[in-house]
Amino acid sequence: MVRCESARGLLIEAQDALGRDDRSDALDKIALAFATVLREYETRARDGFGDSPFRFEDSFRLRTGFSLGIEDRDIRSFFDEVARTLPRLGEAVRVLALGIDYRRYVKFHRLTPHVAWTLGGHVLHRWRCEELPSLAECSACIDFVIDCAIRLQHLDLDVSQAEGLGKKQTSLDPPPRGPSP
C-alpha cells in the first residue's frame, strides 16, 4: 500500500522490531518512515525553482533576541517566544495543507522521536518522551504512517489527472502567448 520503497521497508522493519518487543527500534524506524514519506512527496511537489508548496516552517528560522542584541528583557522575551512559536505554526500549516489529520499527527509526534537529516545525509533521532509507548500505540503509529502515505499518493493521483491544465514554468518570463482567437 505504501509506494515509497524506503518508507515501506522501514515499516516492515518496524513491524519486525515490534515482534521482538523492541519498541525503541520500531519507533525510530516508524518516525523515519513518516519523515521519508513527507520528504519524498515534497520532492515530487517541488516547482522549477526547487521550492515545495508544503514547506512553511523553514522560512521562520528566527534568531533569538539575545543573539540580536536586544537588551530590553520584555522585548527580548517576546521576540524569543515568537521565534519558538512560528516554526510550530509552520509545521501545523504543513500538516493541514497535506490533508493529514492534525490530532492524529500530534499524538504520533508525541510518541515518536524527532527525525532530522544532517547536511551529510545522516539521520538524527531526538526523543521527546521519557517512557516508551505501548505495543498498541506503536501499532497505531504504523497505521498513521500508512494512512498518510495513502493520502499523499491520492494527492499525486489528483495532480496527475489534472495534467494539461497547466505546466510548470521554470523561468521568471511570462509564458508565451498563443494566437488570439
When mean pLDDT is compared across 65-74, 85-94, 163-172, the lowest value belongs to: 163-172
Taking only Cα atoms into account, the Rg of the chain, rounded to an integer number of angstroms, comes to: 20
Q: How confident is the model at residue 156 (pLDDT cuts 50, 70, 90)?
A: low
Answer for the pair 113, 29: CB distance below 8 angstroms, yes or no. no
Whole-angstrom distance, CA of residue 92 vs CA of residue 101: 10
Query: What pLDDT digit, counting tens, does each position of 25-65 carry?
Result: 999 999 999 999 988 888 777 666 666 666 665 544 566 66
Query: What pLDDT digit, counting tens, does each position of 82-93 carry?
Result: 877 887 888 888
Q: How confident is the model at residue 171 (pLDDT cuts 50, 70, 90)?
A: very low
When mean pLDDT is compared across 72-76, 88-92, 118-122, 149-153, the lowest value belongs to: 118-122
DSSP string, 132-166: PPPHHHHHHHHHHHHHHHHHHHHHHHHHHHTTTS-
